[in-house]
Structure 1
Amino acid sequence: MSSTPALRQPCPPGACDCGREQLHAHPPQAQRILLLNRQEEKRLLERLENLQSLEDLQRLQSRLYEQLGIRVHIAPGYNEVRTMRGFVIELDDQPGLCRKTRQSIPAAIRKGLERNPEVAFRLLDAHDLLGGA
């Protein structure tokens, strides 16, 4: 007996600009974002806040894309990076991705970088900003 996974509850009308109603016109692959219900979102955010390494972050980025279709781009900002707010963390526009989720994923990544600054240094080094220092 297989059970269908719980889908995310729709946002109240006018409270979000996620475009959930537009998903019906997209292929079923695009509808997989609805699998990110509140409970799964909490697990995801907890995992992002507890990053262990740059490889862990990159693995999470690839799994987010594979499983939910969410592309996360992380790069140092245009100016200098003095704090974790200096990193530019962007999510590609995607129908069905709730506004609160679009804000909470970058915040969780920043918390993870603050808790483990070694990951932030490796990220800067990957962009060759430390120059091998």
Structure 2
Amino acid sequence: MPPALPFPIRKECPPGACECRQGELLDAWERDPATDIRILRLTREEEKALVARIEAIDSYEALNRLEQRLYDLLGIRLTITPSANGVRTVRGLNIKLAEQQGLCRRTREILPAAVRRCLAEHPEIVYALLNARDLLADIPDQP
């Protein structure tokens, strides 16, 4: 009999609707309890709370703390990089979550969208992000 999970997990997506492979992750955990299943802690209710928290970010430091907490608590890697065409607006940023077994397709869409909304509301975060990562040189001069 497999060991009981130490926390409530996200309800599995309908077959064919998602490629999260949650069942495979749980099977791997049953074989080896050292398998990282932190991502399964992100239930739909927790996801809604996380989106609200992301949208409430008001500084570059808070964004960095969120990135670190996502990794520490859920194993999610959030990356924000400029597009190849440069950054003129928030749309010029590539905001992605790293591929990860157990990470729902819906979550991979919702979290970057929440970050984009936050950055659109607080352009000073975008400037701080580009400055801290030494990417301001990539912004073309405005006419």
Task: Give the TM-score taking structure 1 as reference length.
Answer: 0.89
Higher relative contact order (Cα pairs below 8 Å, separated by 6+ residues): 1
Mapped to 2, the partners of 1:94 and 1:129 lie a distance apart of: 27
Q: Which runs of 5+ in 2 are unaligned?
A: 1-5, 138-143
CA contact (8 A) 1:65 1:71 kept: yes
Matches within 5 A, 1:104-119: 104-119=110-125
Find the aligned partners of 1:76 and 1:126 in 2 and give their Cα distance: 13
The DSSP-based 3-state class of the residue aligned with 2:16 is: coil
Distance in 2 between residues matched to 1:53 and 1:10, nearest whole Å: 34
CA RMSD, aligned part only? Answer: 1.5
Contact residue 28 and residue 35 of structure 2 kept, 8 A: no
- C-alpha deviations, 1:51-72, integer Å up to 9, x for none? 1111100100000000000011
Equivalent pairs counted in the alignment come to 128
Q: Distance in 2 between matches of 1:44 and 1:28?
A: 26
CA contact (8 A) 2:85 2:92 kept: yes
Query: For structure 1, which segment, 28-37 or 56-65, has the greater mean C-alpha deviation from structure 2 after superposition?
Result: 28-37
Return the alpha-carbon distance in structure 1 between the equivalents of residues 56 and 68 of structure 2. Answer: 17
Alignment match of 1:35 (pick from 19, 22, 41): 41
Residue 30 of structure 1 aligns to a residue in which SS? coil
Structure 2 length as normaliser, TM-score? 0.83
2:72 match:
66
Question: Equivalents in 1 of 2:60, 2:23: separation in Å?
Answer: 36
- The 5 Å alignment of 1:1-133 reads 5-23=7-25, 24-26=27-29, 27-130=33-136
Q: Is the 8 A contact 1:50 1:115 kept in 2?
A: no
1:130 is displaced (CA, Å) by 2.9
